[in-house]
Amino acid sequence: MIYILEDDASIRKLVVYTLQSQGMEAQGFDRPSQFWEAMEKGSPELVLLDIMLPEEDGLQVLKRLRSMPATKTLPVIMLTAKSTEYDKVLGLDEGADDYVAKPFDPAELVARVKAHLSRYKRLTGSRGEDDGAITVGDVRILPQSWRVFKGDREVKMPNREFALLKYLAENPNIVFSKEQLFEAIWGYDYLGDSATVTVHVGRIRDKIEDDPANPKIIETVWGRGYRLNGGIN
């Protein structure tokens, strides 16, 4: 099931129709109160979320989703008329997984939704009780519960950041190119390019490095890519 929180009736109906025509279950809501009422009965597999909404804006809804254990890694695609880089950064910083600006191409929207659903199912299919924790210096990664701690402090990471950190930590001391990491984490079916790897590495460094400007955990190997140093104590 996919939830669409969009107050514009014509757009909401179009999105629901488009997804249903592709064999996906979809339900639309025009107000956050309706959305939260439905969430109490069960979480969807993905949320399409407008920013400009009555009652509370989409960024507030996103913050609430990311603050709850049951939905902290739920794929969320922002769907909004705003298209400036600032608005995109705001949504991504709050934990959105992707951003689609209106007016949008229905085929592109379907492709993005399918890509995120596919990736989310692959990444979360084996979650269970934590074992196999990975420790790098004072950073502890719990692969099964998707939690990261720096010292005694839990670090909050959206899906892609965690998946990227986990992948590097499970393959320590190996240099990966941006293209290799993009394929491993985003997949070829994702509509984007490897430049997003650099952005995500920067965000991870901000959260786990003592000095993000001089990283010791995730190292840049110039001309090659990135390497997680597994021998840090």
3-state secondary structure of 78: strand
CATH of the domain at 187: 1.10.10.10
Per-residue pLDDT, averaged over 40-62, amounts to 89
The first and second tokens of residue 84, run together, are 């400036």
* CA separation for the pair 74, 95 (Å, rounded): 10
Would you mind telling me the total number of residues written for the chain in this entry?
233
Domain boundary pick from 81, 104, 124? 124
**What's the CATH code of the domain at 75?**
3.40.50.2300
pLDDT > 70 in the chain, percent: 87
Question: Is residue 209 one of the residues assigned to a domain?
Answer: yes
Residue 199 structural domain:
134-228
Question: Both 11 and 118 in a single domain?
Answer: yes
Q: Note the helical H segments in the chain.
A: 9-21, 32-39, 58-67, 85-93, 106-124, 159-170, 178-185, 195-208
Same domain for 11 and 119:
yes
Both structure tokens of 125: 């299919």
Whether 163 contacts 183, CB under 8 Å: no
Each residue of 59-77: pLDDT tens digit?
899 999 988 877 888 899 9
Does 93 or 10 have the greater pLDDT score?
Answer: 10
Of 120, 122, 16, nearest to 72 by C-alpha is: 120
Domain termination site, one of 75, 104, 124: 124
- The verdict on residue 233 lying in a domain is no
- Co-location of 149 and 168 in the same domain: yes
Q: How far apart are CA 32 and CA 58, in angstroms?
A: 8
Q: Are residues 77 and 173 in the same domain?
A: no
If asked whether residues 79 and 117 sit together in one domain, one would say yes
Q: What is the pTM of this model?
A: 0.58
Q: What angle do CA 61, 31, 85 make, to 5 degrees?
A: 50
Residue 47 identity: V
Q: Scanning the structure block, which residue is given the tokens 């084996």? A: 126
Nearest to 157 by CA among 208, 120, 114: 208
Residues 148 and 167 in one domain: yes
Residue 74 sits in the same domain as residue 171? no
pLDDT computed for residue 126 by the predictor: 47
Q: Which residues pair with 142 in a beta bridge?
A: 147
Q: What is the pLDDT of residues 170-216, one digit of tens each?
A: 999 999 999 999 988 887 666 667 788 999 999 999 999 999 999 99
Listed residues 69, 98, 124: the one ending a domain: 124
| Same domain flag for 10 and 97 | yes
- Count of structural domains within the chain: 2
Q: 42 and 102 in one domain?
A: yes
Q: With pLDDT > 90 as the criterion, what percentage of the chain qualifies?
A: 45
Same domain assignment for residues 80 and 166? no
